[in-house]
Amino acid sequence: MAAVDVVIMAAGKGTRMKSKLPKVLHRLADRALLAHVVDTASTLKPRRVVVITGHGATEVEAAITRHSGAKADFDLGFARQEPQLGTGHAVQQALPHLDDEAVVVVLSGDVPLTQGDTLQALVDACGGENLALLTLALDNPSGYGRIVRGPDDAVLAIVEQKDATEAQRRIQEIYSGIMAVPVARLRPWLARLDNQNAQAEYYLTDIVKMAVADGVRVVAHKISDELQVAGVNSPVQLAELERAYQRRRAHALMEQGVRLADPARFDVRGSLQCGQDVFIDVNCVFEGQVTLGEGVRIGANCVIANASIAAGAVIHPFTHIDGEKAGVSVGQGALIGPFARLRPGAQLGDEVHIGNFVEVKNSTLAKGAKANHLAYLGDATVGERVNYGAGSITANYDGANKHRTVIGDDVHVGSNCVLIAPIKLGAGGTVGGGSTLTKDTPAGALSVARGRQVSIPDWQRPVKGAK
Ligand code: UD1
Ligand code: CA
């Protein structure tokens, strides 16, 4: 098998996006359009991927280098195309990067939903010697290049919409913009392109006629899934493709047994692994790497990013979890929310309860610990069965440094306490409500740190107007 090189055209302006951001950097499922294309291309195990940049070149190159530069097992390169004189001219810019022994697959940076197996089938159709075109029949082919076939059905040419005759415009089979061709064949054809056409552009599609003239077989690999060749030219099309992509993800999860209350109100922007009998209510968003164990239930309107949620845990509605780089872990049978917020480094043990308006950051809560209402735990180590009262907070930040709070097993912290870190509360202790603690507390003790209650008998409140 010949090695595969990939060229991705991404120099166009994307005027209809009406945005300062280069079109190929607009995001679908929280990944740049071009990143989708690069990721799909990588399934071909290419030797090299060359991205043709022009409009916003520096920004596009930096974004894609960040996305796949370091981790890629292919060689990522860029070729600038300035000015943009057409798709043929675009591919010409990549020629110095391409290997004569290779087959090159030509893709567009604004067509994000092509599947890897489709590209592989196209490479197979090329077979190291043919010109293979990805085509499909459309009810409304307007705007696309048409596949012109001879009486024996052999492909003769691609004619662009603007150059097509009335009869040619009635052809429904269109060129998707994706082809696979041996580099050694492509090179001389590109050198012979001209711009004598309605748009005065160098058309890549003109190589089809040249292939026919040179006796090279042109194979049309026809698919029926329009989504795979759909391009993004406007915000409306971007939103349509986002929905289509999400529908595809939702269906794949449901095939695995995940129950979604409504697949139309469900968004995955990363990877979501689910055990058996997971239920996800409406309007949930999953970002980064998320794992849901067996029987996990996610309530409506949750946003969950970079988290691992163990079997049987229940995340009640309106909970926000974002583990960022450090991650969040939720133990088996834990109950979280409604309206809870778990931040990076929250590590919750089995059967932990986190209630409404409780924020947890960089803290470990051991089995059975509870913080049920209106509380903050930051940089804390919380023992088993601790009960952390409403309105209590760890004062973990002195304005310059963060300090730890350590709460021993079975401690009860009353309501409205301020634990000024660094501080350690001994196991089994009790902290009276309203305490501001600055010193460690002994195990088993009741610790109270607040103004003592005073009652003055027969107190007369001031009266308006009295002297
Ligand atoms: C192209 C095909 C057409 C096909 C259609 C599928 C040609 C001449 N026509 O038409 O047959 O049906 O795609 O969508 O190839 N680009 C550059 N540099 C350029 C011009 C374009 O990088 O100088 C990039 C664009 O950014 C885009 C891609 O190439 O990502 C396709 O360009 P576009 O102008 O959309 O091609 P179409 O005219 O739609
Ligand atoms: Ca286009």
What's the CATH number where 114 sits?
A: 3.90.550.10
127 plus 10 within the same structural domain: yes
H or E element, residue 185: helix 183-191
Task: Give me the pLDDT at residue 85, please.
Answer: 97
- Cross-strand pairs, 380: 405
Q: In percent, how much of the chain has pLDDT > 90? A: 97
pLDDT digits (tens, 9 = 90+) for 194-212: 999 999 999 999 999 999 9
Closest C-alpha residue for ligand 1 atom 22: 11
139 plus 275 within the same structural domain: no
Task: Give me the pLDDT at residue 457, please.
Answer: 96
Residue 120 domain flag: yes
85 plus 145 within the same structural domain: yes
381 plus 268 within the same structural domain: yes
Distance 78 CA to ligand 1 centre (A): 18
pLDDT band at 1 (very low <50, low <70, confident <90, very high): confident
Question: Would you please indicate which residues are annotated as catalytic (active-site) residues?
Answer: 373
Number of independent structural domains in the chain: 2
Q: Report whether residue 92 contacts ligand 1, using a CB cutoff of 6 Å.
A: no
Task: Give me the pLDDT at residue 466, please.
Answer: 75
Mean pLDDT in the chain?
97
286 pLDDT above the threshold of 80: yes
Q: Report whether residue 106 contacts ligand 1, using a CB cutoff of 6 Å.
A: no
pLDDT digits (tens, 9 = 90+) for 318-335: 999 999 999 999 999 999
Residue 236 domain flag: no
**Which of 180, 210, 229 delimits the end of a domain?**
229
Residue 87 domain flag: yes
Task: Give me the pLDDT at residue 234, please.
Answer: 97
Amino acid at 279: F
Question: What percent of the residues of the chain are helix, what percent strand, and what percent coil, each to the nearest 5?
Answer: 20, 35, 45
Ligand 1 atom, smallest distance to 12 CA: 26
Give SS3 for 229.
helix
**Which of 183, 211, 229 delimits the end of a domain?**
229
158 plus 44 within the same structural domain: yes
pLDDT digits (tens, 9 = 90+) for 139-189: 999 999 999 999 999 999 999 999 999 999 999 999 999 999 999 999 999
CA distance 33 to 14: 12
Could you list the residue range(s) of the whole structural domain that residue 163 is in? 4-229
Please name which of 160, 150, 115 lies closest in space to residue 134, comparing C-alpha atoms: 115
Amino acid at 250: A
Instruction: Check: CB of residue 380 under 8 Å from CB of residue 363.
Output: yes
Residue 252 domain flag: no
Residue 214 domain flag: yes
Rounded mean pLDDT, 337-366: 98
Per DSSP, which regions of 161-283 are E strands?
173-182, 218-222, 259-260, 266-274, 279-280
218 plus 280 within the same structural domain: no
Ligand 1 site-directed mutation target among 108, 110, 202, most atoms within 8 Å of CB: 108
322 plus 425 within the same structural domain: yes
71 pLDDT above the threshold of 90: no
Ligand 1 atom, smallest distance to 110 CA: 30
Residue 243 domain flag: no
CA distance 250 to 246: 6
Instruction: Check: CB of residue 221 under 8 Å from CB of residue 133.
Output: yes
Residue 119 domain flag: yes
Q: Which residues contact 308 (CB under 8 A, 6 or more apart)?
A: 290, 291, 293, 327, 328, 329, 330
CA distance 357 to 372: 8
222 plus 272 within the same structural domain: no
Q: From residue 118, give the alpha-carbon distance in Å to each of 50, 89, 109.
A: 20, 26, 16
135 pLDDT above the threshold of 80: yes
Rounded mean pLDDT, 406-428: 98
Distance 9 CA to ligand 1 centre (A): 8
Ligand 1 atom, smallest distance to 89 CA: 23
Q: Report whether residue 232 contacts ligand 1, using a CB cutoff of 6 Å.
A: no
223 plus 305 within the same structural domain: no
Distance 237 CA to ligand 1 centre (A): 16
Residue 460 domain flag: no
Considering every ligand atom shown, identify the ligand nearest to the alpha carbon of residue 207 and give its number.
1
CA distance 425 to 237: 57
Distance 73 CA to ligand 2 centre (A): 29
222 plus 294 within the same structural domain: no
218 plus 261 within the same structural domain: no
224 plus 273 within the same structural domain: no
What's the CATH number where 410 sits?
A: 2.160.10.10
